[in-house]
Amino acid sequence: MEESRTQNQLQQGNAKRNYNIDLLKFFACLAVIGLHTLRSNWDIELSAPNGVLYYLCGFAVPVFFTCSGYFILSKKEITAEYVIKKILSIVRIVFIWSFAITTLAFVIRLILHHNTEDISLLNYFSQITFMPYLQKGYMWQFWYFGGLGIVYILSPFILKLVDHEKVKRLSLWGVVAAICVTIQIISIIKGRPIQSDVSQACRIWSWNQYFLMGGYSLHITNYL
pLDDT for residue 57: 86
Quote the percentage of the chain above a pLDDT of 90: 24
More confident residue, 144 or 221: 144
- If you average pLDDT over residues 161-188, what whole number do you get? 79
CA distance 171 to 174: 5
- If you average pLDDT over residues 139-151, what whole number do you get? 91
pLDDT for residue 39: 65
pLDDT for residue 100: 93
DSSP-derived letter for residue 1 is -
More confident residue, 216 or 28: 28
Mean pLDDT of the chain: 81
pLDDT digits 0-9 by tens, 43-100 = 566 677 777 888 888 889 999 999 998 888 888 889 999 999 999 999 999 999 999 9
pLDDT for residue 44: 60
- If you average pLDDT over residues 203-224, what whole number do you get? 77
pTM: 0.78
Residue 153: Cβ within 10 Å count = 15
pLDDT for residue 146: 93
How far, CA to CA in Å, does 161 sit from each of 107, 155, 183, 212? 49, 10, 24, 11
